[in-house]
Amino acid sequence: MPETLLTTKFCCPECQGALKNGLGRALTCGSCKSRVPVVEGIADFVRGRFDTALNVEAYEQEHGIDETQAAELYRLIRVAAGHRWPNSLGSVVEIGCGTGFYSRGLLGNNEARDVVMTDVSVGMLRVCRENLHRRGLLAD
C-alpha cells in the first residue's frame, strides 16, 4: 500500500516503529504489529485513553467562532508574525486543532504544501473534519 501523510509523519505510539497502510481501515506498525484504527479519515492514536473536557458540540457557539472570526484569527497571527512569516508554510502539523478555528484560515489561504491536523479528542476531529468538508477545504 502506498505511503500517505499519516504514514510519513507519524510513528507507532507503542514502539515508535514505522507505520504502514494496512489492509482495511487501519495503520499497522511494521515492528510490533500494533494497529491504529482509521475511521472516516481520522486515525485514532488515542483509543479512548484521553479526551477533552471541553463541550465538543457547543464549543463554537460558546466561543463565538464563525467565519469572520476564523479569518480574523488567521490575519492577526500573520500580523503578529510580521516579517517572520515565510513565503510558504511548507508541511504543517497542527496540534490541538479543535473544531478547526485556525485550520480554516490555514487551508483557505493555500499557504501550506500539506497539513495534518491533530487533537487529543476524536470528537473534536470529527467536528473539525465536518466543518472543513462543508467549506470545501478537505483534500479527500
Ligand X SMILES: C[S@@+](CC[C@H](N)C(=O)[O-])C[C@H]1O[C@@H](n2cnc3c(N)ncnc32)[C@H](O)[C@@H]1O
Kindly list the residues in this chain that would bind ligand X in the complex (CB under 6 A). Answer: 52, 54, 95-98, 101-102, 118-121, 124
- Packing angle, helices 101-108 and 67-81, rounded to 10: 70
Cβ-contact 67, 106 below 8 angstroms: no
Nine cell digits for residue 49 = 485513553
- The binder of 13, among ligand X, Zn ion, none, by C-beta within 5 to 8 A per type, is none
Considering the rule CB under 5 A, would residue 27 count as an interface residue with Zn ion?
no
Considering the rule CB under 5 A, would residue 14 count as an interface residue with Zn ion?
yes
Closest distance between ligand X and the C-beta of residue 24, in Å? 26
CB atoms within 10 A of CB 43: 22
Closest distance between ligand X and the C-beta of residue 1, in Å? 27
Whichever of 12 and 43 has its CB closer to Zn ion, that residue is 12
Amino acid making up residue 40 = E
Closest distance between ligand X and the C-beta of residue 118, in Å? 5
Pairing state between β 42-43 and 90-95: unpaired
